Structure 1
Amino acid sequence: MNEEIVTRIQQVIDFYGLTVSAFADEIGVQRSSISHLLNGRNKPSLDFVLKLITAYPEVDLYWLLKGEGSFPPATIESKQNVDENTTKTIAPPIVPSETESITTKGIGSKTIKTKQIALFYTDGTFEVFNPKKD
């Protein structure tokens, strides 16, 4: 049974095109732990399995442990292919309006005025607020 789990772990590593070192870094375990698993010296711990499925949620737990089901699911491509084809959306730079400002902070005798306020959200969207004119 241990050999079967190790074979499935190797399938995950191969599927994502990772080196053993990179895989260890991705799931947050020591590189020697992966080496010991793959050569049959150690069995995977519960902590190891949880780290693997946390880092790669598309890996089905039952498939990993018992070989039931399949990997990879038909709905995903290899992570390497997805990363190469992913387009990152970057918000355009905000150019503040020179005419809109409010006094927000005094530093010594120097007054700093706010031109714009931008809120950036984790989904990549943003909102820009322009303070009222003096």
Structure 2
Amino acid sequence: MVNITAFTERLKKVMETHELSASTFADKIGVQRSSISHILSGRNKPSLDFVLKVTSEFSDVDIHWLLNGKGMYPKNKISETTATPSLFEDSEKVSGKKIQRIVVFYDDGTFDEYQK
């Protein structure tokens, strides 16, 4: 079950990161402005369609993170301890192939994807 209060906080974080007001955010994902207002106030719960519009419009938002807070935001962010540019460069020299992306799967069914 999704914790609506926590979901709302994560949605606000996405809006703040992208420097969008609620009305601009609504326009960007293609929903009515009142929908955002009702979700942010706790009056309405987000629909699956709403969640999919957010994750489709903002590629840095992982659906697992948005719904349950699991994973990372932004999802394409590569931490220094996870992967470094030298990891990509060295692999190209060793195999003659160039790494396009690395996907890490976790035991809870979530995953993170890292792209060069």
Aligned to 1:75: 77
Number of matched pairs? 76
Q: Deviations over 1:66-125 (max 9, x none)?
A: 10012124638xxxxxxxxxxxxxxxxxxxxxxxxxxxxxxxxxxxxxxxxxxxxxxxxx
Q: Say which SS state the counterpart of residue 71 (structure 1) adopts.
A: coil
Q: Residues 54 and 74 from structure 1, CA distance in 2 versus in 1: closer, same or farther, beyond 3 angstroms?
A: closer
Given the two structures, how large is their TM-score scaled by the length of structure 2? 0.62
1:65 aligns with 2:67: yes
Return the index of the structure with the highest Cα Rg. Answer: 1
Unaligned runs of 5+ in 2: 79-116
Structure ranking higher in helix proportion? 2
Aligned to 1:23: 25
1:14 aligns with 2:16: yes
1:45 aligns with 2:47: yes
Query: Could you tell me which amino acid in structure 2 is paired with residue 40 of structure 1?
Result: G
1:54 aligns with 2:69: no
Structure ranking higher in strand proportion? 1
What is the alpha-carbon distance in structure 2 between the residues aligned to residue 32 and residue 75 of structure 1? 31
Which consecutive aligned stretches of 4+ in structure 1 deviate over 6 angstroms post-superposition? Answer: none
Given the two structures, how large is their TM-score scaled by the length of structure 1? 0.54
Unaligned runs of 5+ in 1: 77-134
What is the alpha-carbon distance in structure 2 between the residues aligned to residue 66 and residue 72 of structure 1? 14
RMSD: 1.4
Higher relative contact order (CA 8 A, sep 6+): 2
What's the % identity of the aligned pairs?
Answer: 51
